[in-house]
Structure formats: C-alpha cells, structure tokens
A and B are shown apart, each in its own frame.
Chain A
Amino acid sequence: MRNFVWLSTLLTVGSAVGLVVGACAPEFGTLDIDPISTPPAGVTLRDYLVELPSGVAIAVAVSARSDNAVEFDETASIDLISRDDDIFEVYPSQRPREFVFVGVAEGDTCIDVLIDGSQEDCINVQVEPPTQ
C-alpha cells in the first residue's frame, strides 16, 4: 500500500513536471508567409499552399506560429527548402526570415519548413504555366 501511494505521487509529480516543461517550449503550428514585393502576376500565399506562375518571383517574410501559449522567439532559425528545385526555388534574402520564392517550371512540389533544424511541415507548392 505504501508503495502504491509512493508510485502515485511520483507519477503525479512527473506529469506535472512534464506539463510544465512541455508548456515552456513552443509547438509548431503554422508558418505565416507575408509578401514584401509585388509580383506582376497573381500569386497565392497561404500557410498550407503557395501558387505562382513559372517565371515569377516574390519576396516574402516568414514567421513561425506556435500551437501552444509559448511563441517562437526571434532567435529560432527558420529554413525553407524546396523539395524540387526544377519546379520551385527558395532563395534566402539578405535579411533574416526573408526569402525569395521563384516559380521555375510548371508542376507541384512542397517547401520543407525547418525550425531550428527540425523539419516541421511541408507546404504545398503549385507552379502554374507562365502568364502572358
């Protein structure tokens, strides 16, 4: 009986500690993508989808949004990597958390989102035919 009480206490304390520790770290939810240039043709920027025509580029600023109450701080590194450079390219810009998206050729791929080196998401990309 004493062992059972001791075990229950240990589990309760452990869970509480786990909750506290877990709550102190942000949990990736979505990537906010905001345009900072005006492309000559229609571009769609969503946290789950990027659509742009082939031959068109757009500069964007990104920020990671947490699913819990703890937000990502500004020191968290965000890397974006295209799964298929023949369809879509992501270039870093000269400022942190700014990137340039380029539609290379018609097709579908996705952008890997890495937060502090950890892969968190892959945002769908559709590169459409060139606009005329």
Chain B
Amino acid sequence: MRWPYFYPIVASVLLAACGSFEDNPPAEAGELGRGDFRYSCIGDADPYCVGTSPTSFPTAFAVGAIFGLEYHAEDSEDDPLPRVIAGSNTSVNTVGPGFAITRPGYTVFLAMSNFGEVYDFRHVYAAPVQRIPLTTGRSDELLDLTLGAGETLQLFAQPEDGLRTLLGGSLAYAWSSDDPTVARIASADQDRDVTIEGVQAGTTTLRVEAGGYVQAIEVRVGGDPSDADTSSEEEGTTERTPPGESESGDGSGSSESDGTVGDGSTGEGDDLGTTGGG
C-alpha cells in the first residue's frame, strides 16, 4: 500500500524550493559585512529584470534610471529591517519605492537602524548612457536591419556606458521611425523592447532615445519578406513574424516622439548615427 501523502509532500518540497529561489533576489554584501543589499525591479524597462524578477545585481546603473534596493541584516533584531536611504540627496532622487541616481559617479546607500545608526552601506556606480545597442533578444548588436514589407521584428534596447557595461534600472524609452511609410513602430507601448514592421520598400532610420542618448539604425524594407536580412556583429538567430501574423499596434505609424528625441541632432557615431544628449 502506497503512503497517500508521498506525492503531496514531494510537491510541497519542490514548490518550497522554487519559492526559495524566487525569494532570493540578487544581492551584494554590505561594506561593513553585516548583511546584504538586494536588488529589486521597479518599472518594466530594466535590462537586469525579467518582468519584476531581477536577474543579477547591476555592475553599474544608468543615470536617471529607477531601481529598488532593500537591505537584509544577518543578525539584526530590528523589526522592520533596516531601511535603505541615499547617502546624498543631491545625487539621488527618491521615486516612489525606488531610487534614481541623478549624476555619474559613486553614490552610497545606507542601511539605517531604527535608532538612526548606520547598520551597513554600499556604494553603487552610475554612468550616463553612451550606447544603446539594439538586438533581437538572441542576436548580438544589430548594425543595420532589413525587413520585408509586412514583416515584423521585435527589437530590444540595451543601454550601455562607454565601456560597454550594461546599465541597470528602468529608463524611459522613445522609439521613432524617420519615415513610417517605410517602417513603423508597431507596438502600442514604447518600452525597452518594441516591434517594428516593414510597410513598403524603401530605406529609413529607426531611432531610440533613453537617458538623453539617441541611437539610430538604418532600416531597409524590401518589397518581399524574403528580402529580409539583418546583420549583426556576430550573426545570431532573429525572431521574425511573417506578414499576417504581426503584432498589431496602434496603427499610427510613427511614434509620439518622432523627430523630437534628445537634443534633436544626429551625430556620426557608431552605426548610422548616435547622439549624446548628456
């Protein structure tokens, strides 16, 4: 006779194990060694997050990006846990439950006890966005893009500093197409990822702005979906949707920020054009 509670108990153990993984967000030890600072996702445009679950503790943060930090003490009897504050309110804005660093450089976050004492602290580094490579999620950076008419492609923006370090935190993104009659933004929501759709044969420029920086990439649309080709630094797999299966957006073609991103100028940087708005 089989014990009737065997499978429920096994299932409970497995669920508990899974739950424990979810309950352990990426963390970095405090510099006084009394606990750790845990990263949390705020907003839905953080490259270090999948949904609301952080994947790792960012090496650096984008200036102006929103993120969350919590502190967990190893042996604190404080209840609630020590609260996290910014060491300098001239360099950090409190945005709801999160923080946004307002200038490049190091910024310290303090874990404060209920008695006004510093329990622990940690420095984080913030940098301005200086590159926004575009990828399809699985590919490396796209250098240009070719689509067929009616074809859609999902693109992801990866905000980086000048050393190509992926920057953490949620930024506001604005995407635009110089000529929506050639290729348009098909996504209703503008976020770190967007769906672009080839409309008719021609060439246009796709731009994405975040953190005061504008990245541009040339988009060529052929008359036939079989014309589609995308080159990247290292050839990767792209996810394409053939005509008729495209994600329907608002149908308005160009984005709300068409032509008004950043400082409005286009430099001659990598790829087609890049502009640092500072």
Interface positions of A (Cβ within 8 A of B): 36-41, 53-57, 59, 89, 91-94, 100, 102-105, 130-132
Please determine whether A92 and B123 come into contact, CB atoms closer than 8 angstroms. no
Interface residue from A38, A91, A100, A105 paired with B88 (Cβ < 8 Å): A105
Interface residue from A37, A38, A57 paired with B87 (Cβ < 8 Å): A57
Please determine whether B31 and A38 come into contact, CB atoms closer than 8 angstroms. yes
A130-B105, A131-B105, A132-B105 are contacts. A102–B110 as well, Cβ < 8 Å?
yes
Q: Tell me whether B121 is interfacial, beta carbon within 8 Å.
A: yes
Please determine whether B105 and A57 come into contact, CB atoms closer than 8 angstroms. no
Q: Which residue of A lies closest to B113 (CB)?
A: A94
CB distance from B274 to the nearest CB of A (A): 20
State in angstroms the CA–CA spacing of A37 and B112 once bound together.
Answer: 17
Interface positions of B (Cβ within 8 A of A): 31-32, 34, 87-91, 103-108, 110, 112-113, 116-119, 121, 123, 125, 127
Known: A91-B112, A92-B116, A92-B118. 18 other contacts (CB 8 A): A36-B32, A39-B123, A55-B87, A55-B123, A56-B108, A59-B32, A91-B117, A91-B118, A94-B118, A100-B110, A100-B118, A102-B88, A102-B110, A105-B90, A130-B106, A130-B107, A131-B106, A132-B105
A40-B106, A53-B105, A59-B32 are contacts. A94–B91 as well, Cβ < 8 Å?
no
CB distance from A84 to the nearest CB of B (A): 13
CB distance from A9 to the nearest CB of B (A): 55
CB distance from B143 to the nearest CB of A (A): 29
Please determine whether B105 and A55 come into contact, CB atoms closer than 8 angstroms. yes
Please determine whether B108 and A57 come into contact, CB atoms closer than 8 angstroms. yes
Chain B residues, Cβ within 8 Å of A54: 88, 90-91, 105
